[in-house]
């Protein structure tokens, strides 16, 4: 049973446009959500996170939106750059009551075309 789902295996956007990556979760106890970027042969790199008490968090070109009622979060990248091409993982955890191990989705491969 997959608790974190990324239903789009891949996404292709033009340089300068917006990239929107989506993630759904099923466990209502999750209270902290993260996005990681992964290049081939490297470990995941932390991008941005959001606590369940917020619905939006921004960091430069990256914005994460959280819709708790829909159990949905999204990552917006504006403007997209070729260097953003990577696999993006959504992750969630229940910090409030547990050890904080992350539950990951399967990832979305983003390709930004010049």
In the complex, which residues of this chain contact another protein (CB under 8 A)?
Answer: 4, 32, 34, 36, 41-46, 49, 51, 89, 91, 95-96, 99-107
Q: How far is the CB of 13 from another protein (least distance, A)?
A: 22
Q: Please state, in angstroms and rounded to a whole number, the distance separating the CA atoms of residues 37 and 99.
A: 23
Q: Which is nearer to another protein, 5 or 71 (CB)?
A: 5
Of 104, 76, 78, 107, residue with least CA distance to 92: 104
Are residues 19 and 71 in contact, defined by beta-carbon separation less than 8 angstroms?
no
Q: How far is the CB of 14 from another protein (least distance, A)?
A: 26
Q: Please state, in angstroms and rounded to a whole number, the distance separating the CA atoms of residues 15 and 28.
A: 36
Q: Which is nearer to another protein, 69 or 101 (CB)?
A: 101
What SS3 class is residue 83?
Answer: helix
Q: Which is nearer to another protein, 15 or 32 (CB)?
A: 32
């Amino acid at each position: 049973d997959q608790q974190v789902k990324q239903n789009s295996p891949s996404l292709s956007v033009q340089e300068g446009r917006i990239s929107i990556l989506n993630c759904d979760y099923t466990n209502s106890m999750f209270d902290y959500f993260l996005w990681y970027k992964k290049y081939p042969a490297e470990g995941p790199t932390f991008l941005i996170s959001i606590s369940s008490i917020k619905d939006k968090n921004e960091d430069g070109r990256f914005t994460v939106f959280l819709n708790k009622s829909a159990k949905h979060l999204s990552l917006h990248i504006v403007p997209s750059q070729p260097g953003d091409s990577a696999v993006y993982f959504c992750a969630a955890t229940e910090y409030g009551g547990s050890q904080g191990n992350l539950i990951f989705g399967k990832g979305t491969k983003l390709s930004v075309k010049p």
